[in-house]
Amino acid sequence: MTRWWTTDETHDPARTSWVASAQGHADFPIQNLPYGVFSPAGCQPRIGVAIGDMILDLAACADEGLVAQDAALSHPTLNALMALPADTRRTLRRAISALLSDPAMQAAVEPHLHAARDCTMHLPARIGDYSDFYVGIHHANNIGRQFRPDNPLLPNYKYVPIGYHGRASSIRPSGEALVRPCGQRKAPDANIPVYGPTARLDYELELGVWIGPGNDLGTPIAIHDAADHIAGFCLLNDWSARDFQAWEYQPLGPFLAKNFHSTISPWIITAEALAPFRIAQPARPGDDPEPLPYLADADDQAHGALGLSLSVYLTSAAMRAEGMAPMRLSHGPASNMYWTVQQIVTHHASNGCNLMPGDLLGTGTISAPLREGFGSLMELSAGGREPLSLPTGETRAFLADGDEVTLRAVARADGFMPIGFGECRAQILPARE
C-alpha cells in the first residue's frame, strides 16, 4: 500500500486546469480537489469536487462514464466514498485530476461544473459519532494556568490523548448562524446558580479529522495502520459557553457548554491531497515521557504532523456596517499539537471502540506559546480580564450577538502549490429564551 505521505502527479505544482479560476486559487487549485456535498438551485444534494470557484458534479461524471462508476458516488453523503480503501480513493483522485487538467476533456466535463456561489453546501457526511480531543498543549497550559497556576497540566496529559464524547446532531456547515445558548451559570461569589443566556461565549480553533474505513468492535487500530483510517480533514469551531463550562464540568466533563453548536468547513481536504504537507512531529521536551508503545511509531513521528497555518478572524455588526475588513485575532501552525492525528485515532480505538466511516474527531483547540497564536478568546482576553479592542472602538472579552467568526487554514511546503480549506464561518444570533 502507498504510504500516506507519498506524492504523485496530482501534486505537481506545474499542473494547471482548464478551469480558469483554479489558477492560483487561494484554496482550491487543481492540486487540492476536496470532496463535499452540494446542491445547485432547485436540485437534490450530490457529491462534488471544488475546483477554483466552481464545483464539479462528480455523480454526473460517473453517470456519463467520465470517471469509473462506483456506487459510492451516487449517494447524497460521502460516507460510502470515505469507506473505500485509501488506494481506491487515490485512483479516483488521479482520474479527477486528469479530467480537469486535460484540455481535450473540457467539452465533456464543463457541462457538469456549477458556480460555487450559486450552490448550497451541506454537511459532507452523515456523522454517526463525534469525539473531541485536547491535543493542543499550549491551549491546555494557557487554560490550566487560569485555574491551577502552579500545576496547569494534569498528570495524565502527557500519557493519554485526552478526549470526550461530543454531540454529532448539532454540527453544522459553515455559514449557518449560531443561536446564543441558554443554561446554568454560577458566579464565584453567588450562593446559587442562575439560568439564562451565556455571558462568556467563545470560539475554539480546531481541526476536524474525518474517519474513513472503520474497525470492528473489539478490534483496536494499530498506530502504524491509523493513517489508513483517516479520509480527510476540515476546520472545526467548537463553540463554548465558558460560564456554563466552569459550573458543570466537574465531575464528568463538558456537556451543555459544548453541545449546542459546532461549525465545520464543508469541504473534506483529503489525506491524499495533504501528502506533501506531512511533516515531522515536533520533538517532546527531554524530560517528557515517551509515548507508551501502542502510541509509538517511527513513521508517525517522521510524517505525522501537518504543515498548516491556522488563522481566526472576527467582524462585529458595527464593523460590517462600516465596511471594515475582518480583524485577525490569531495566527499559528497546526504543529502545536502534542499528539498526532494518528495517535488520537489509535487511542480512540485502543479499547476496541468501533469507529465508522464519517465519524468526526476534533483535535481540541490549537494554540501557540505566544499570544498571537492563541486559539480562543478565553486565552486572548485572559479569562475576560484583558478585553480586546476592535477597530470601531468596541471591546471584546467574549463574543457579542452579531459577531461573526471565521477560521481559515493554508497548507504550505517548499516545492508544492499551497492549498486551503475554505472558510469555517458563523454569525451569532441572540438567545431564544
Please report, in range form, the residues annotated as the binding site for substrate. 134, 148, 245, 249, 365
Contact 208, 361 (CB under 8 A): yes
318-345 as b/e, with b when 16 or more CB fall inside 10 Å?
Answer: bbeeeeeebbebbebbbbbbbbbbbbbb
Contact 200, 164 (CB under 8 A): no
Q: Which of 12, 101, 126 is nearest to 49 (CA)?
A: 101
Give me the active site residues, please: 139
Task: State the number of CA atoms in the 13 A half-sphere of 290 facing the CB.
Answer: 7
From CA 247, how far away is CA 17, in angstroms rounded? 53
From CA 208, how far away is CA 419, in angstroms rounded? 17
Identify any residues that bridge with 128 across adjacent strands, giving them in sequence order. none
Q: What's phi and psi for 255, nearest 5 deg?
A: -145, -100
Q: Which of 73, 32, 67, 37 is nearest to 52 (CA)?
A: 32
* Binding-site residue ranges for Mg(2+): 238, 258, 262
Q: Which of 129, 168, 125 is nearest to 37 (CA)?
A: 125
* Binding-site residue ranges for Ca(2+): 132, 204, 206, 238
In this structure, the strands spanning 201-202 and 240-241 are antiparallel
Detail the DSSP E strand segments found in 156-204: 163-165, 171-173, 178-179, 182-185, 194-197, 201-202
Under 8 Å CB-to-CB from 34, ≥6 apart: which residues?
Answer: 28, 49, 50, 232, 267, 268, 269, 270, 273, 421, 422
* Binding-site residue ranges: 132, 134, 148, 204, 206, 238, 245, 249, 258, 262, 365
Output the CA torsion 40→46→51→52 (10° steps). Answer: 30
Q: CB-based burial of residue 151 (10 Å sphere; 0-12 exposed, 13-18 middle, 19+ buried)? A: exposed
From CA 10, how far away is CA 32, in angstroms rounded? 8
From CA 80, how far away is CA 312, in angstroms rounded? 32
